[in-house]
Amino acid sequence: MSDNQAHARRDTVLAAIAFLIVMIGTTLPTPLYALYEQQLGFGPTWLTLIFSTYAAGVIAALLVAGGWSDQLGRRPMMFAAIAMSAISAVVFLSWQSIPGLLVGRLFSGFSAGIMTGTGTVAVIELAPKAWRGLATLIATGANMLGLGLGPLLAGITSQYLPWPLHLSYSGHLVMLGLATLFVAMIRESAQRPAKPRLQVQRPSIPAQVRPLFIPACIAGLAGFGVAGLFTSMVPSIMGQLMAQKGGAVIGAVICMFFIASTTGQALMKWLPEHRHMTFGCSALILGMLAFGYSIASHQVLWLLLGAIISGAGQGIAFRAGMAAVTAATPADQKAAVTSALFIVLYGSMATPVIAVGVSVPSFGLSHVGELFAGLVALVALVALVSMAVVQGRRSSEPA
């Protein structure tokens, strides 16, 4: 193996680890919300607002800085994401109040919005030729595994180690120091212009992409809505309905959702390509049925089963929708279309969570959770049918 190939492999691994570390920070607070609720005395509405602040930070970062890595380079923007994540951790450590949680989640959203696009592109560009087929999976795997490890690590430290509301953030600051070192060691993969032009990203959808973009967004609404629920409301569901107060158990259930998402994406190469969206949406429907039954029966086992099945469905539907949209998009418009899709997806994470949080005080957690599961299953069914119609029309068109 040549030195160039060895360096490329090293750079890919280091970039993926830095990506994973930043994403860990975005979900660290998830199993700690029950402790925050006890300490600060807030309810589901405030919890919803805190999560929505995170989603707003992600969308703002995508809109403002979504294309900046093309102008400034991948490494500077990865450093910026690490800095935003570090600010978030410091805020959580030093300002434990409702305003502090809002500010901490906002900076966490900034870090995720910057790193999601930049880290994905960096990993793909740094990958050696022998890894080209795996590069996208490595990037999405780093993203999803980071999201899953955050609740697991915070859940374990909060339940079994001292300083439950501090230790996980302190540990993450150490990890961010490693991520900074790793990014400093990798090469720059972007071709930067002589005179960078920094401007707000204007999402745009070409006419030929819209028929595929719409069902991809509908599938994303279902899949990312479930992701939003698992990272914000599942701790309350497990604590209030299932008598599960331990952070480790809560973190493990949420972690399984994201591990299943990564696994589902990895298994796609063994599934017929034209059936990807069918498998993904069908798994989302089955997962939501299990999730709804877990609420009705107050059984953790069914919740875990729902997490695994819907997580796999989310991963498959997300990657299938992204692949279909990307393949149909002209090369000079891929960045704008991708940004538009991610904005819709992260909006999809926040909208159902807001609706659930506002409804719980009036209708109760059980009824709202069951209704949410049914609505997600219905949305996934609509996505399945609409994508099948679009693909049928495209296959019948003359070449």
Residue at 235 is within a domain: yes
> Does 162 lie in the same domain as 214?
no
CA separation for the pair 226, 232 (Å, rounded): 10
What pLDDT, on the 0 to 100 scale, is given for residue 219?
77
Max CA pair span of the chain? 66
Spans of the chain below 50 pLDDT: 399
What pLDDT, on the 0 to 100 scale, is given for residue 105?
95
> Does 264 lie in the same domain as 345?
yes
What pLDDT, on the 0 to 100 scale, is given for residue 202?
67
> Does 153 lie in the same domain as 215?
no
Q: What is the 3-state secondary structure (H, E, C) of 49-61?
A: HHHHHHHHHHHHH
> Does 249 lie in the same domain as 142?
no
> Does 87 lie in the same domain as 14?
yes
What lies within 8 Å, CB to CB, of 133 at 6+ separation is none
Helices (H) and strands (E) in the chain, counts: 15, 0
CA separation for the pair 291, 102 (Å, rounded): 29
Residue at 306 is within a domain: yes
Residue at 194 is within a domain: no
pLDDT digits (tens, 9 = 90+) for 258-295: 999 999 988 887 888 778 878 888 999 999 999 999 99
**Total domain count, the chain:** 2
Structure pTM?
A: 0.87
Boundary (domain end) residue, out of 138, 157, 189: 189
What's the CATH number where 359 sits?
1.20.1250.20
CA separation for the pair 346, 165 (Å, rounded): 27
Residue at 199 is within a domain: no
Residue at 196 is within a domain: no
What pLDDT, on the 0 to 100 scale, is given for residue 273?
75
* Full residue range of the structural domain in which residue 130 is found: 1-189
> Does 384 lie in the same domain as 294?
yes
Residue at 197 is within a domain: no
> Does 224 lie in the same domain as 160?
no
CA separation for the pair 268, 316 (Å, rounded): 7
What pLDDT, on the 0 to 100 scale, is given for residue 281?
87
Helix pair 98-126, 33-40: axis angle to 10 deg? 160
> Does 360 lie in the same domain as 336?
yes
> Does 214 lie in the same domain as 180?
no
> Does 184 lie in the same domain as 113?
yes
> Does 290 lie in the same domain as 173?
no
Residue at 178 is within a domain: yes
CA separation for the pair 313, 257 (Å, rounded): 10
Boundary (domain end) residue, out of 162, 189, 216: 189
Whether the CB-CB separation of 391 and 276 falls below 8 Å is answered with no
What lies within 8 Å, CB to CB, of 12 at 6+ separation is 123, 126, 127, 128, 131, 135, 138
Whether the CB-CB separation of 280 and 313 falls below 8 Å is answered with yes
Boundary (domain end) residue, out of 189, 214, 249: 189
Q: Which two tokens stand for residue 193?
A: 């212009």
Residue at 136 is within a domain: yes
> Does 128 lie in the same domain as 69?
yes
